[in-house]
Each structure stands twice: as C-alpha cells, then as structure tokens.
Amino acid sequence: MGEWRAYAALFGGRLRSATAYRTSFAVELVTNAAGTLIDVVTVFVLYRAAASVGGFTLDEALMMTGITAFAFVLADLTVGNIDQLETYVRTGRLDAVLVRPLAVLPQLMLADLPLRKLMRLAVGISVLGLALGRNDIDWTPARALLLVSAPVSGAVFFGAIFVLSAATAFWWVDSGKLGHGFTYGGRDFTSYPITVYGSWFRTAFAYALGFGFVSYQPALTLLGRPDPLGLPSWAGYLSPLVALAAVSVAAVVWRSGVRHYRSTGS
Amino acid sequence: MDALDASVPAISPRRPISASVATFRALVGSGFRRYATYRQATLAGTFTNIVFGFLRCYVLLAVAAGAAGGAPGGYDARQLATFVWVGQGLLNVVGIWGWADLADRIRTGDIVADLVRPISPVTAYLAADLGRACHALLTRVGPPVLVGALFFPLATPSRWQTVPLFAVSVLLAVIGSFACRYLINATAYWLNDARGPLAFWTLGSGVLAGLYFPLRLLPEWATVTLWVATPLPGLLQTPLDVLIERDPPALQAGLVALQAVWAVVMLALARWVQRRAERRLVVQGG
C-alpha cells in the first residue's frame, strides 16, 4: 500500500507543477491536440490528390489512421516522456531515482507524465470514431472485441517501443533522435495501408518488428477485407500477442540497461 | 584562434569592413565547431532522417501511382522522390527545430553576457547559426541523398541556372528560418518561458514549410496565401521546388525573390524586437 501512496504522491506533484502556469499549460494542451490533428489532415491532403492509395480508399485508410492515432496517443501520454531518460543518464540524475525503494520505470513515467498531451486523447478517439462512422462495418461480437483490443494492444506495443528506444541511452548516451525513427516513424508507418511500402521495407517494419499488427491487420478484419498481401483474416486478432512479445523484449532490455548504468559521479 | 583575443573588433559601420568580416567569420567558425563536437548525435539524426525518407517517399510514390495522370501537385515520381530525400537532408541545414538557446539564456539571465558584447545579439547568433548550417550542409545532406539515390530514381537538374539559384535559395532559407526562430525565442523576453510558442512553432513550421507533404497538394488558394502571406514555404518548399524544377525559370526566380523579401523582413523584425526588448529587460539578479 505504501508503494501506491508514493506513486500517487509523485503523480500529485506532477499535476500541481503542470497546472502552476495555467496559461502556458492551456496553450500546450491546445498545441498538442493540434499536433495529432495534423497527422490526420495529412492523410486527407494526400487522398485529395489520389482516390486510391496502395489499393485503399480514404475511408478504409482512416480505419488504420484511427486505430494508430488512438493507440499512439495512449502510449505517448503514459510512456512517451521516457525519452527524457537520455538527460537522466547524461547528468547522472538517475542516481536519485535508483536509490528510492520504488521501481525505476514507473517512477520515471509518473515524474514526467506529460499531462499537456491529455487533449490528444480526445483527438485520437474522434479520429477512430470518424473512421467507424465512414465505414459500413458488419458487427459481430468478435469485431466489437477487436475494436477495443486493437487500440489497447497498439498502445502497449508503442509503449514497449518507447521504452526500447529510450533504453538505448544506457549504452549510447548521445543516441538522441535514433529512437524517433521507430516511435514517431512507427506511428507514420502504421497510419497508412502497408501495401504502399516497398517489399523489404515492409517486411522489416510490418512483420519483423511487428508494426503491421498494430493497425493494418485489425483494420482489415474490422472491414471484412481480405489481405492483398496474403495473411488470413484471423491475423487481425494477433495484436495482443505481438504486443506481449514486444513488452517481454522491452522488459529484458530495460533491466539489463539499468544494470549496465554507470553514474557520471557528479 | 590566435586572431581572437580580448579586443574582438565590433561589427559596426564605423569600423573598417575587414574587421567586421573577421569577427563575423570567427563567430561562424565557433558555431561550426560547436556542432562538430556532437558526432554521435549527428550519426543518430542521420539514421532517423533516412527512416523518415523511406516512409515519406513510399507514401508519396503510392499517391503518385494512384493520382490521375500520375503527377499529384504537378510533380512526377522522380521529382517527388527527390523532394523527400533532399528535404530530409535540408531539414537539418535549415534547422527549423530544436533551437531554444536564446529563450533559455533569457530565462536564466545569461543573456546579459550577450548584451555587453560589442555586437548585436541578432548578428552574433546569425553568425553562429550560419556556422551550424555549414556543418549540417557538409554532414547531414549527403547520406540521405545517397541512400535515396540508391533505392529510388531521382531527378537531376537540367537547367544551368538551377544549381546557383538553389544555393541562393538555401542560404535565404537558413537566414529566414533563423529570423523566425529568433522571434519565437524572443517571446521569452515578455513571457519568461517560451515553451508554449516553441511548441507552436515546431508544429506549424513542419507542416507549413512543406516537410509533411509538398504544399502544392493543397488547394491553390491555400498555396498562394501561404507563399505570399507567410515566410514558411521559403524555409523548405521553395529551395526544394527550385532544385526539382517544378516551375519555369522566371517563376522560380520570382519565388526566390519572394523568399528574399521574407528573409529581410523577418530579420529586420528580429532586430526591432531585440531593441524593444533591451529597453524593457529586467534581469533577475541572483
């Protein structure tokens, strides 16, 4: 119980500090929401030039964009700020985190919880709602379950990618933007039908790294469309397993990273 | 470095031009050397540029394949690929993101050290930023363009004037981008904390400079408004359009002239804001 109280205190501190400068916080809330909106507007702009991209119409592609937007926002809100780890390692501030009798990852997550990204959640849900409204879905209990499990699994998957990217800082302090290629890059990758990508690039991102199961396969199953790339329709239900695998890898890498950490001594 | 000592000559119209040039050059050099020390960060950033190059290039090529006539916004597939890959490199030269040095110095009060120097902060920071841009030009453009050329057919310029015009356009883009960033950072003189405006800038500049998609994909009224009423297309879209020869030569020269007008306006605005700020600045002692 004491542990939970400590976490609640960390979260409370974060909440008070974020709302101390109300105007600045309000500006950040709105700006962040607009950021998520721009990714969606980009999809609309591209479809203005072409009726079909990679063999999918705008409405079908929005299904993928919607699942990704919701999943990514959820992960970014909860785990996203772990990319500050680089600063903690470089300055040696991680020492203070390590000496407390609490787990390292939840501490870092709660201490840096980016509440300014809260409004993004509303945008993410709206995009998914828009996609559902524009597609004629043949609802079954399995599909209704998929509608919940796909964004949640996607969020867990993106969370694992965030942790993996941040953990590179344990070995390579100046890794800087390296991880963005997989976190924000992964978001961009899963916002479009994966049929648009060249074959080796698609194989690497979609199947080897697992990004194809975040939104593409679940969206196909929801829409009742066969996969032009040949995977069966039950592949849409695999996202929880893929997320679980990613979390396992992230957990192993994170633990060995924390063990590998050497303080700056300052 | 022996040319630098405590008596660095001021950049001022009353001094011999050679002294001003020497000081400016020393500042450019210091900007270059500062970024040359972040070698690992350069490598990591290049990798990310390449990943995004593939992502954007494949998506835009799929759009071109699905568009009527195969030329969305008047670009063919080669031009789109060149737009993406050169854009991923040029992004770092123009440096639209990630500069909060000035805002931090205003917040902490370190800006005092800049104000007692015999050079206007706008000039000094511009010189350092040109040094940064030179470093990015040498290290960050080659790799993405090379990877792009290996995997996709790229467009090569066919007109002789394209290359010099592109060089001028890139220089104007760097100056325009610097002036915009200076203005955003300078809001800290009034707000103490420029995080809000900086976030707003990061968001707006990326999409309206043409990084996410070529601006010509927008409806024509929106494109024209953006070009005439804002400096943003001049940061990335104009140099890229010049390089891939999207327009006839006369129109290209006109776009670069428009870019120059905006660069001068923004730089003048930065100087004016700096002077106003100096009059009201209260540095918190400590």
DSSP character string of A120-138: HHHHHHHHHHHHHHHS---
Number of domains chain A contains: 1
Higher pLDDT, B12 or B128: B128
Residue A221, in any domain of the structure: yes
Residue A7, in any domain of the structure: no
| pLDDT score at B90 | 93
Task: Note whether B195 contacts A: Cβ–Cβ < 8 A.
Answer: yes
Residues of chain A in contact with residue B79, where contact means CB-CB under 8 angstroms, are none
Q: B66, A52: Cβ pair inside 8 Å?
A: yes
* Burial category of A251 from C-beta neighbours within 10 Å (exposed 0-12, middle 13-18, buried 19 and up): middle
DSSP state of A206: I
Question: If you average pLDDT over residues B271-278, what whole number do you get?
Answer: 88
Residue A33, in any domain of the structure: no
Task: Note whether A24 contacts B: Cβ–Cβ < 8 A.
Answer: yes
ipTM of the assembly? 0.89
**Best residue in A17, A46, A172 for a mutation probing chain B (most B CBs within 10 Å):** A46
Residues of chain B in contact with residue A198, where contact means CB-CB under 8 angstroms, are 54, 58, 151
| pLDDT score at B8 | 55
Residue A159, in any domain of the structure: yes
Residue A75, in any domain of the structure: yes
Domain holding A218, by residue range, is: 40-106+121-260
**For A141-196, what is each residue's pLDDT tens digit?**
888 998 999 999 999 999 999 999 888 888 887 776 788 888 889 999 999 999 99
Q: B48, A181: Cβ pair inside 8 Å?
A: yes
Residue A22, in any domain of the structure: no
The answer to whether B38 touches A174, Cβ cutoff 8 Å, is yes
pLDDT exceeds 50 at position B249: yes
Residue A161, in any domain of the structure: yes
pLDDT exceeds 50 at position B286: no
Window 65-104 of A, Cβ < 8 Å to B: none
Q: Is A224 left (phi over 0), alpha (psi -120 to 50) or beta?
A: left
| pLDDT score at B6 | 47
Q: CA-nearest residue of chain A to B212? A: A42
**For B175-210, what is each residue's pLDDT tens digit?**
999 999 999 888 888 877 777 788 888 888 888 888
Residues of chain A in contact with residue B194, where contact means CB-CB under 8 angstroms, are none
Task: Note whether B218 contacts A: Cβ–Cβ < 8 A.
Answer: yes
| pLDDT score at B1 | 44
Instruction: Tell me how far apart the alpha carbons of residues A219 and A225 are, in angstroms, rounded to a whole number.
Output: 9
Residue A135, in any domain of the structure: yes
The answer to whether B243 touches B157, Cβ cutoff 8 Å, is yes
Q: CA gyration radius for chain A?
A: 19
Q: B59, A35: Cβ pair inside 8 Å?
A: no
